Chain A
Amino acid sequence: MTMNSVAKKQNNSSILMRIVKNQCFIPLAALFILIIFNLVADPTFFQILLEKNSAGNNVLNGPLITILDNGSELAILAIGMTLVTAASGGQDISVGAAVAIAGSVILRVISGGETYPETLHSPVIVAFLVCVVVAMLFGAFNGILVAFFKIQPMIATLILYTAGRSIAAWINNNELPVINEPSFAYYGTYIPGIPIPTPFFIMVICVVIIALLLKFTNLRLYTEAVGINESSSRLNGLNPAFIKVMSFVILGVCVAVVGLIKVSRFSTINYSVIAKDIEMDAILAVALGGNALSGGKFNMVASIIGAYVIQFLITTLYRFNVQSDALPAYKAVVIIILVVISAPSVKEWFSGLTKKLMKKEVA
């Protein structure tokens, strides 16, 4: 072996190392394995058909579209959850309940208190803005408990987790308003003439906004600094409490967006079922993205990929006719494997192993 080829080989291996060490590697690898599995087991998984849906529109249909559709909700929540995790070193478990509240607020404003309204009582955008404000307030409530009263995030958000769905029901006097106006369904299903589900576009808008925020403001630096060392951040002039509250408020906006998608999709609401356990999937997306759940540095892209991986997994399990009540158990097994692989200690062990192998190979 000439010197040149040795150098080349080392260069190759270091590129490999860089890829393996990248935070997006684990979620992408998981996605890849899921794709391979489906290809082998049932290639029709990847079939996409153009069909007429109940509204009479030509729309794309197939498992991949389902993933794109439902995964987008999760991805939007993962954005907010990543920030909360980074700043506070804890997670918000009230997200699902907060989505119920957000959805309920939208229906209340639109229905004007009627159960079967003939027309929309106010434009959807107004209802949505009211809902954003309400969701931000609930986010601020969680954030204040965490930042000023120093309550553990999981305990602080347990309050809203418990009470949220009752509050949601109370907002509409326990009625279940049904909106028949077709245009209201655009946000959660399809816009006529566009065969791709709208939630995907909403997700893209959210991602672009957060990308711009991360690029053109100090959101990343401030959040990471507070998450890593609160005391030092304070002595550098930051206000750690404010930054934590801000992260919860941003999550609140994400919740409002998902609330709109959810009620628009069903044209109504079921307080005890809507967005059930979605907070756990959002937290998992963050963990799967290789972000430390104890806060600090974060990788937004990895979290978003993580969200789609989880939806991919759920859809795959449904395809194999796993009973819906058995689904969580299957999901748990797969998730344990994924999370263990992306744990820092396992990663270190793994990179040590590859290094050893590389050395042998070079020798």
Chain B
Amino acid sequence: MNDNVVLKMRNIHKSFPGVRALQAVDFTLRKGEIHALMGENGAGKSTLIKVLTGVYTKDEGNIFLDGKEKAVAIHSPQDAQNLGISTVYQEITLCPNLSVAENMFIGRTKGIGQNWRKMNADTEKILKSLEIPAKATQQLETCSIAVQQMIAIARAVDMDCKVLILDEPTSSLDEQEVEKLFTLMRNLRAKGVGIIFVTHFLDQVYEVCDRITVMRDGQLVGEYEIKDLPRVQLVSKMLGKELDDMSDIKGEQQAYEREEGAVPVLEAKGLVSDAGIKPFDFHIDKGEVNGFTGLLGSGRSECVRAIFGADRILGGKVKMKGKDVKISKPLDAMKNGIAYLPEDRKVDGIVGDLSVRDNIILAQQVLRGFFRPFSKAEANKIADEYIKLLSIKTASADTPIKSLSGGNQQKVIVARWLFTHPEYLILDEPTRGIDVGTKVDIQKLVLKLASEGMSVTFISSEMDEMLRTCSRLVVMRDRKMVGQLSGDDLNQNKVMSTIAGGENDDE
């Protein structure tokens, strides 16, 4: 039965300083199958892919190809390429200003001569056989993103590839384009290519894949036939929560009781941004803590970014305390008492070279306006106050924020927004990548702020954290709001089955 196996990875280990990214991971790919590789953040998917493609060198373990006894050595992407392992990434890595045919053959011709006519004819043949709607002489950038991706795939396949890795190819495609891509993938499967499909979209996995390998925390959870693994099971395996584990973490939060006739602090209707989410409705009351949950890429962050005006708003109405407001940019949101701690601390949060002090006063300083800067003495007093309040560990208020640890950087950003005295605080993954102590600090802070009357939206990849702090959860799947849970529904089983959706939708 082994002759059907095209790729076998056994006992793969890989460590980075301080992190064991892969521990004894096995992976098997068969000829003519589409194999989904699933896992949440930090599960080790991308490390495994990078080991396979020669970007990283493995510490331990063997890789076998074509059922051969002898392990192959992959030391560079070129090695992987030569062995027939090709990768197509989410971002197109072709040359947009060359023609389709040139892109197909670039770097593959020997000698200086080039038979253009033959190259174009060959390209036409390949495009036709894979049903890709493009012409050989067309310039690549005039094709849609989906077609460009298909051409990248066609190029990989034409280079005699046995293992094709598709790393989140569907993230920037619309539904019809995804459908076209799937047709191509099925075509290739019929031709005997083994495809590894990395995606965050559950629906797509169940539509096109044959098998699923699930990883979590750098370890293999298991390999499953798609028909043996219902969606709920998949979600529970990805998150590492047993479905029947009713150890339900009872919320420490006060059961939130809505006052009759109370006006929500914020109410959004049909809000939609250009980040690819479906229009959604949302509201939050005074002193309430709610959360957005869903798998990575489900649109959690996009929703709160839309509320804050961080992405371009395409439509919808927002009311603050019953009054219509227009939020089209972050400053509008800030003026209405909304604060937003972004998901990506390094890119969107800190201003690296500026001091801790400047980072703390920044948002409030912008609110005060160009002509009303804080004096040096005022700024120092404010900085010292918040450094003490949140016990931020820093040499001084003058230290550049980039030299602080992740947890302390995050506390500075929290301080920045607390200093604007918001009515509604949005925390998008405030606890990601920071130490346990700081995590607990931040959770406690959220509950304290809520008890003082602030409304808080708290987003986290860790469900425990969400269940512990939130009194209402908004569930997202595939960029759509699919449910709201509160009260007795606020338990792991219910959350997971809502995230999974699909066959459980009727429940």
Contacts and interface: CB of A to CB of B under 8 A. Distances in A.
Interface in B366-383: 366-367, 369-373
A235 B330 contact: yes
B366 A237 contact: yes
B353 A297 contact: yes
Interface string A218-239: 1101101100110111111111
Given A231-B348, A236-B330, A237-B334, A221 B353 contact: no
Contacts of A232: 342, 347-351
Contact of B354 (A218, A225, A231, A238): A225
B352 A234 contact: no
A216 interface: yes
A224 B353 contact: yes
B371 A236 contact: no
Contacts of A216: 371, 373
A324 interface: no
A296 interface: yes
Nearest to A224: B354
A231 B330 CA distance: 11
Interface in B306-340: 308, 310, 329-331, 334, 340
Interface stretch (B15-23, B120-128, B357-365): B357-365
Given A235-B330, A236-B366, A237-B367, A229 B351 contact: yes
A222 to B, nearest CB: 7
Interface string B461-478: 000000000000000000
A118 B367 CA distance: 55
A217 interface: yes
Contacts of B329: 234, 237, 239
Given A218-B365, A221-B358, A221-B373, A235 B351 contact: no
Interface of A is mostly: helix
A285 to B, nearest CB: 21
Contacts of B353: 224, 228, 296-297
Interface residues of B, number: 28
Contacts of B365: 218, 221
**Most B CB within 10 A of own CB, among A216, A234, A237:** A237
A326 B329 CA distance: 54
A169 B310 CA distance: 46
Contacts of A233: 351
B352 A228 contact: yes
Contacts of B349: 232, 235
Contacts of B340: 235
A217 B373 contact: yes
Nearest to B310: A235
Contacts of A235: 308, 310, 330, 340, 342, 348-349
Contacts of A224: 351, 353-354, 358
Given A221-B362, A231-B348, A232-B349, A237 B354 contact: no
B347 A231 contact: yes
Given A235-B310, A237-B366, A229 B373 contact: no
A224 B361 CA distance: 14
Between B330, B347, B352, B367, the greatest number of chain A beta carbons within 10 A of the residue's beta carbon is seen for B330
A237 B330 contact: yes
Contacts of A296: 353
Nearest to B355: A297
Interface string A228-253: 11011111111100000000000000
B359 to A, nearest CB: 9
B315 to A, nearest CB: 21
Interface in B72-100: none
A228 B373 contact: no
A297 B370 CA distance: 18
A94 to B, nearest CB: 27
Looking at A217, A218, A234, A239, which has the most chain B CB atoms within 10 Å of its CB? A218
A231 B369 CA distance: 19
A225 B348 CA distance: 12
A222 B367 CA distance: 12
B352 A236 contact: no
A218 B370 CA distance: 5
A43 B431 CA distance: 66
Contacts of B362: 221, 225, 236
Contacts of A219: 370
Nearest to A225: B351
A217 to B, nearest CB: 5
B347 A236 contact: no
Contact of B370 (A217, A228, A231, A234): A217
A216 B349 CA distance: 26
Contacts of B373: 216-218, 221
A238 B349 CA distance: 13
Interface string A197-216: 00000000000000000001
B429 to A, nearest CB: 14
Contact of A237 (B331, B342, B350, B371): B331
Best-buried of B334, B353, B367, B372 by chain A (most CB within 10 Å): B353
A229 B352 contact: yes
A297 B400 CA distance: 11
20 contacts: A216-B373, A221-B358, A221-B362, A221-B373, A224-B351, A225-B362, A229-B347, A229-B350, A231-B348, A232-B342, A232-B349, A234-B310, A235-B308, A235-B310, A235-B330, A235-B340, A235-B348, A238-B331, A239-B331, A296-B353
Given A218-B366, A236-B416, 11 more contacts: A217-B370, A221-B362, A221-B365, A222-B370, A224-B353, A224-B358, A228-B353, A229-B352, A232-B350, A234-B310, A234-B329
